[in-house]
């Protein structure tokens, strides 16, 4: 459920980053408290990546329940930490198609969507853009409700790269790689409950690329499936927090918003051949025939 975050990140990158001022710069230079980590396990002792991902899926509610989700509607609160900027976002999704919008004060309204594999964004800075290449591939990955469940749709390799103990908890890292696009995502998994606690990736846009680490927390159960209701995307100089305030699964959605704006006629538009005359209208030939019939008819007054 990263789509809205992807749109937020794209908008922020287009703006060159919403500067949080000196306070933000000072925050970026603060030292991070060190957490003692025990040495990572040897490569030959690492657990199988596919098995780890399967355990994540099971802990999320199971493949069957994830597959049963055909559509959803989501509302989120969006906040640029340290910058005093907050807004709201909404997402409508059905299958792989979707539409989302985000409103941020000082930025405006940004929207994005995708239909039949054609992904797009529309923001006040760059206008309407159809995504392609690495940017499209990464945005498409954002259509997944659970990347551990859907990883084979977007990647062709999964490898466990690390297992370590931090603060008394064990974590494993699984790196997913797509050979075609070159994109990769590293999932950090808590081996205690097999929940994904963070994702590391590179966010691509027309403005370039930037490394991003997304922390996932506040897992809640919705219709038997567990979702992270809070996500914080750390872009080094900016942090973007999204908090889900409403989530509805398998609900009707307006599919007319999915396609690139202007690429399809309005839903109520009719082709010229489909246009019909009013039910009581007559063709010219019919009107003449009626006139002759009236002329031959006896005068009712005689």
Q: pLDDT of 272-284, one tens digit each?
A: 444 444 444 444 4
- Residue 140 has a pLDDT of 86
Q: What pTM, to 2 d.p., does this model score?
A: 0.76
Q: What is the 3-state secondary structure (H, E, C) of the chain?
A: CCHHHHHHHHHHHHCCCCCCHHHHHHHHHCCCCCCCECCCCCHHHCCCHHHHHHHHHHHHCCHHHHHCCCEEEEEEEEEEECCCEEEEEEEEEECCEEEEEEEECCCEEEEEEEECCEEEEEECCCEEEECCHHHHHHHHHCCCCCHHHHHHHHCCEEEEEEEEEECCEEEEEEEEECCCCCCEEEEEEECCCCEEEEEEEEEEECCEEEEEEEEEEEEEEECCEEEEEEEEEECCCCEEEEEEEEEEECCCCCHHHCCCCCCCCCCCCCCHHHCCCCCCCCCHHHHHHHHHHHHHCCCCCC
The band of 39, judged by pLDDT with boundaries at 50, 70 and 90, is low
| Mean pLDDT value across the chain | 82
The predicted model gives 3-11 an average pLDDT of 56
Structural domains of the chain sorted by starting position, each given as residue range(s) with its CATH number in brackets: 3-28+38-256 (2.50.20.10)
């Amino acid at each position: 459920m990263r789509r809205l975050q992807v749109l937020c990140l794209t908008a922020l990158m287009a703006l060159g980053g919403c500067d949080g001022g000196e306070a933000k710069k000072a925050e970026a230079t603060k030292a991070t408290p060190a957490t003692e980590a025990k040495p990572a396990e040897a490569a030959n002792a690492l657990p199988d990546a596919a098995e780890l991902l399967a355990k994540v899926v099971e802990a999320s509610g199971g493949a069957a329940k994830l597959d049963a989700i055909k559509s959803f509607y989501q509302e989120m609160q969006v906040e640029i930490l340290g910058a005093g900027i907050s807004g709201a976002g909404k997402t409508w999704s059905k299958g792989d198609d979707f539409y989302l919008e985000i409103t941020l004060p000082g930025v405006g309204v940004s929207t994005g969507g995708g239909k039949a594999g054609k992904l797009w964004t529309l923001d006040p800075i760059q206008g309407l853009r159809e995504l392609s290449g690495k940017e499209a591939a990464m945005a498409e990955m954002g259509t997944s409700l659970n990347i551990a469940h859907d990883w084979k749709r977007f990647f062709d390799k999964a490898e466990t790269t690390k297992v370590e103990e931090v603060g008394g908890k064990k974590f494993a890292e699984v790196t997913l790689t797509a050979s075609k696009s070159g994109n990769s995502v590293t999932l950090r998994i808590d081996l205690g409950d097999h929940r994904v606690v963070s994702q590391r990736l590179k966010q691509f846009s027309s403005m370039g690329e930037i490394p991003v680490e997304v922390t996932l927390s506040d897992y809640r159960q919705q219709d038997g499936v567990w979702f992270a209701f809070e996500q914080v995307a750390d872009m080094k100089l900016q942090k973007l927090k999204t908090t889900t305030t409403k989530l509805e699964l398998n609900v009707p959605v307006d599919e007319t918003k999915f396609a690139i704006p202007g690429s399809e006629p309005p839903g109520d538009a009719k082709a010229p051949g489909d246009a019909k005359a009013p039910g009581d209208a007559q063709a010219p030939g019919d009107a003449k025939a009626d006139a002759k019939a009236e002329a031959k008819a006896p005068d009712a007054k005689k």
